[in-house]
């Protein structure tokens, strides 16, 4: 298999998408694209649909990228261009813990969008296995390229360690 040029990293909030994206970026030299940073406006305002579609089309058209973000509704546009999909299918308790601790560190996803613990977001994380995982899995059945499903930190470490130019990984 040739080295991938376009990688989608998908999974629930708190699954570790940004962490593995940084590792992939370092190992493969591909530029990372954090979809949240392109989607959300300050104060957690959503862009108009047409504006988001224009931004997404530009991001997808690039020759090389790692897309960090689930955004199930965008998968029909992104999947045909992806050479590899990494699906972090992590348990809900681990995801919830990571979402809460990330908010406690007051990290920002994009300028003016600090991580926060909102009941609506926690509900999304809790319900991801029932509500979103089936949609993700269904979308992936039509993908022609490889899909790597990682469920544990150990699987993530092994996957990263198997990439060219890597020796260790810190999920």
Helices (H), 32-91: 35-39, 49-61, 75-78
User: DSSP secondary-structure letter at 4?
Assistant: P
Average pLDDT over residues 39-63: 93
Would you state the pLDDT for residue 134? 94
Q: Please name every residue paired with 167 in a beta bridge, in sequence order, or none if there are none.
A: none
Give the range among 46-55, 63-72, 83-92, 159-168 with minimum mean pLDDT: 159-168
Would you state the pLDDT for residue 169? 41
pLDDT at 170 over 60: no
Whether the CB-CB separation of 151 and 89 falls below 8 Å is answered with: yes
Higher-pLDDT residue of 139, 1: 139
What is the gyration radius of the CA atoms in the chain, in angstroms? 15
User: Two tokens at 43?
Assistant: 């104060």
User: DSSP secondary-structure letter at 6?
Assistant: E
74-114 pLDDT tens trace: 999 999 999 999 999 999 999 999 988 876 666 656 666 66
pLDDT at 165 over 60: no
Question: How many whole angstroms separate alpha carbon 16 and alpha carbon 11?
Answer: 8
């Amino acid at each position: 298999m040739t080295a991938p040029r376009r990688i989608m990293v998908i999974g629930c909030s708190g699954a570790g998408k940004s962490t593995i994206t940084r590792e992939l970026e370092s190992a493969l030299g591909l530029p990372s694209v954090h979809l949240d940073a392109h989607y959300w406006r300050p104060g957690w305002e959503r862009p108009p649909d047409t504006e988001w579609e224009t931004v997404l089309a530009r991001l997808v058209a690039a020759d090389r990228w790692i897309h960090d973000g689930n955004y199930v509704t965008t998968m029909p546009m992104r999947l045909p261009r992806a050479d590899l999909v990494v699906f972090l299918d992590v348990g809900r308790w681990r995801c919830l813990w990571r979402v809460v601790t990330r908010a406690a560190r007051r990290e920002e996803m994009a300028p003016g969008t600090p991580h926060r613990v909102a009941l609506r977001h926690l509900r999304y994380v809790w319900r991801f296995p029932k509500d979103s995982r089936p949609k993700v899995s269904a979308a992936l059945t039509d993908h022609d390229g490889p899909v790597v499903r990682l469920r544990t930190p150990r699987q993530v470490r092994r996957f990263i360690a198997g990439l060219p130019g890597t020796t260790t990984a810190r999920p």
